[in-house]
Amino acid sequence: MLNIVIFGPPGAGKGTQAELIANELKLIHISSGDLLRQELANGDLGQEIKKYQDAGELVPDSLVIKMVEKAIAQNLDKPGFIFDGYPRNLNQAVSLDTVLKTGRLELNAVLNLELDEQEAVNRIILRGQTSGRSDDNEETIKARFQTYQEKTLPLLDYYRRQNLLVNIDGRPTISEVTKQIMKILKK
Ligand code: AMP
């Protein structure tokens, strides 16, 4: 069993790396952003979710935590999980610890993909040309960074104290970053 959180600012490459690592190690990739976008497309809560996403704010915990818990519960027989974009605040982190513990699981590492804001913004704007995501525009990106600073960044301390935090340089090419991550996970 291997359970990993992939952490970092918007645009650092969390989704890309999570997908590659999940394929390589046969882990279940749980992206709270993807789960929310699916719910937005199919569920009754679409308008509500879109409002938060387009404002660059966090969707309420009650909804996000429930969705992630369901995804975990459906895959407890699998070799492990890679959480991408989750947790995004302390409440979610504590909830994740509890849920994993209940399933007799634990986190093995929190990989912090480091990238400075300007580079991350450039990447998101580039992605916006093809992603079709309504939150990949300059104004929302600014708000997403602010949310990251205020709500998400404090989690680094939470995981550092648990000795789980590993910093990874997010600047190199996709395949070089993947290589770095694999090297760390093999240890
Ligand atoms: P992402 O796909 O990770 O970039 O997330 C896109 C947007 O979905 C975020 O800006 C939030 O509005 C929402 N979102 C994704 N993950 C979470 C989460 N763990 N908690 C609250 N909101 C989230």
Q: Residue 46 above 90 pLDDT? A: no
- Ligand 1 centroid, distance to 105 Cα (angstroms): 24
Look up residue 111 and give its amino acid: L
**Closest ligand 1 atom to Cα of 36:** 8
Over residues 157-171, the mean pLDDT reads 98
Contact by Cβ (8 Å): 10, 124: yes
Residue 66 banded pLDDT, cuts 50, 70, 90: very high
Residue 103's SS3 state is coil
pTM for this predicted structure: 0.97
By alpha-carbon position, which residue is closest to atom 14 of ligand 1? 33
Domain boundaries, the chain: 2-186
| Separation CA 187–CA 174 (nearest Å) | 21
Q: What CATH architecture applies to the domain 2-186?
A: 3-Layer(aba) Sandwich (3.40)
**Closest ligand 1 atom to Cα of 140:** 10
| Separation CA 52–CA 58 (nearest Å) | 6
What is the residue-wise DSSP string for 114-146? Answer: E--HHHHHHHHHHHHHHH--TT-SHHHHHHHHH
Q: Between the CA of residue 160 and those of 110, 111, 128, what are the distances in Å?
A: 9, 11, 33
Among 53, 145, 148, the mutation site with the greatest number of ligand 1 atoms within 8 A of its Cβ is: 53
Q: Which of 154, 113, 155 lies closest to 11, judged by CA?
A: 113
**Closest ligand 1 atom to Cα of 56:** 10
- Ligand 1 centroid, distance to 59 Cα (angstroms): 7
pLDDT tens for residues 97-147? 999 999 999 999 999 999 999 999 999 999 999 998 999 999 999 999 999
pLDDT of residue 187: 82
State the pairing for strand pair 28-31/80-84. parallel
Q: Residue 73 above 90 pLDDT? A: yes
- Ligand 1 centroid, distance to 53 Cα (angstroms): 7
**Closest ligand 1 atom to Cα of 84:** 3
Among 32, 124, 146, the mutation site with the greatest number of ligand 1 atoms within 8 A of its Cβ is: 32
